[in-house]
Chains A and B, each alone.
Chain A
């Protein structure tokens, strides 16, 4: 066991899940929310020459996806250090 005790192991996993779920919530909101479910409402707004809903569906969601993975990497690397389980 790489962790000092059971609490450490549980704590690490809990924080890991919390990072993951928060980022997945953003993932869901930008793609399924802005790009699909509320696309018509957002299309009433114009953004840089685009209808906003259309922009989320064909541009914005992809930029957010890239950002999410890099945020995840940063947060997980910090978490590994905090619990001393990095390679």
Chain B
């Protein structure tokens, strides 16, 4: 069977599975729709959280980013896992004890103010819309490359599937579908990684293979990669090029941003008990770390493979000094190069007219290679069997669909629950509220699909935005709400608004208004727009404390509420009011 038929079969089977689960787990009440009735076992919730968290970007792009940036790519690995420690230790158990449905619920009640609630709703909706646009794009890329349908058709199919199970099933349908999606995506990610690790280093575990010696006797993989990278003018793979302060701030913004993302936080409302929410965060990180510790291994395998395929193998000379490849004939190039050329993600420009391809980081370079192809093309580069390639396509789709569904749920909850029920029309019935939730989810899907088909040029830039905003607005408000009884509504609102404005204006200036000036010498203290959320968070905290000092004290009943969320007893299920 050819690769395309296999891809149709595997992708078709996984889609049928997701839809089957959605029909089995459809939601009947707002509580089931918002928090799956609060009855999800912690391990399954951890798995669903991991699928929710690992997006098309994690699955498709992250190994490519690490592969192309080496040590600098560590900011994403640490940033997107370390945030779970903050979540587990500082937020999850307390928010679960608080026991409502959403992040704006907590901020609105804790700061006894609808203004605070609305600021939080705006942040939540903005973050989710930013994120979801990129997911549908991932769906489109996978469809167009592996099933050879138009990107538009791919996006519409993806929209239809997500619509079906998110709108019908709400959180309950999403959670159980995400468990299945996690299994698909992790299997799809690990199989090629293990294959390649065995082929290159003889080690079954990619995390260890990455530090092993090559089976062809050319020494340690990472030493070889450092040698290749330096020879080709990229600089050693294991050395960083960004400034230490910038790396510090980017890692900080990603970690704190992770802990402030509404679609992640809301997952921990779905477990039955406070102690379950703690362990559930642990399981989520275990399931995420399986993939995230494999990513850097895969990144370095793929880097060596790709360079040696294009430039020709490195040969060990008799003196012991390696002799590097000088290019391979374009006419005999493997089929993956030609396949990806058609999508425009690989370009070859024979500058010296010798008919050979050569890839480097200096003037000799003749190739343009988009880093987003690394994971998708990796099985082909390594010459793995057709079913592995098909599996990777299904895994990429699982990652994109599971994250889209989680984000849609937050969008629909924010509209139906936080805006309609709690602010604009408090008298609506459960049934009407559910109807609003479904309409909002449908609207969200159409919006995401539109941007999937007509991708804005700034998808990568807006990711910095989403994390920066979460770090500088929601995170400090939640932390102060739990750990500082005296923080009042004036302080919290001022902090959120100032933190948000500071971060947003810095990012908008460098990313949209004056992108030409986006260089280290123009940045404040050399901190890039990706890292500015860390400073935004500090600005938020300082503003909040100063304002709180000069305004009225927090009412006594709110202080008592804060006391009561600090211990687990009497949590009960997530409840309405």
Where the two chains meet, the residues of A that have a C-beta atom closer than 8 Å to any C-beta of B are 2-3, 9, 12-13, 16, 20, 23-24, 27, 31-32, 35-37, 39, 43, 48-51, 54-55, 57-59, 61-63, 65-66, 68-70, 72-73, 76-77, 80, 83, 85-87
Contact = CB atoms under 8 A, between A and B. Distances in A.
Contacts, number: 139
B346 to A, nearest CB: 26
A51 to B, nearest CB: 5
Given A72-B89, A76-B278, A31 B251 contact: yes
B382 interface: no
18 contacts: A2-B569, A3-B567, A20-B90, A24-B90, A27-B86, A31-B255, A36-B244, A39-B240, A55-B211, A57-B74, A59-B210, A59-B296, A62-B289, A65-B81, A66-B285, A68-B85, A77-B278, A86-B569
The 9 A-B pairs of least Cβ separation, nearest first, read A49-B211, A57-B74, A69-B282, A58-B296, A2-B569, A85-B567, A85-B569, A54-B238, A50-B211
A68 B289 CA distance: 13
A48 B278 contact: no
Nearest to B295: A58
Interface of B: 66, 71, 73-74, 77-78, 81-82, 84-86, 88-90, 93, 207-208, 210-213, 220-222, 238-240, 244, 247-248, 251-252, 255, 273-275, 278-279, 281-282, 285-286, 289, 292-293, 296, 563, 566-571
B222 A65 contact: no
Chain A interface mostly = helix
Contacts of A20: 89-90
B208 A48 contact: yes
A87 B571 contact: yes
Contact of A2 (B71, B86, B289, B567): B567
B316 to A, nearest CB: 18
Contacts of A48: 208, 211
Contacts of B251: 31-32, 35-36
Contact of B78 (A49, A57, A77, A87): A57
Contacts of A54: 71, 74, 222, 238
Output the residue of A12, A43, A76, A87 with the most chain B CB within 10 A: A87
A72 B88 contact: yes
Contacts of A27: 82, 85-86
Q: Which among B86, B244, B282, B293 has the highest number of chain A CB atoms within 10 Å?
A: B282
Given A31-B255, A69-B88, A85-B568, 8 more contacts: A24-B86, A37-B244, A48-B211, A65-B84, A66-B282, A69-B282, A72-B88, A76-B93
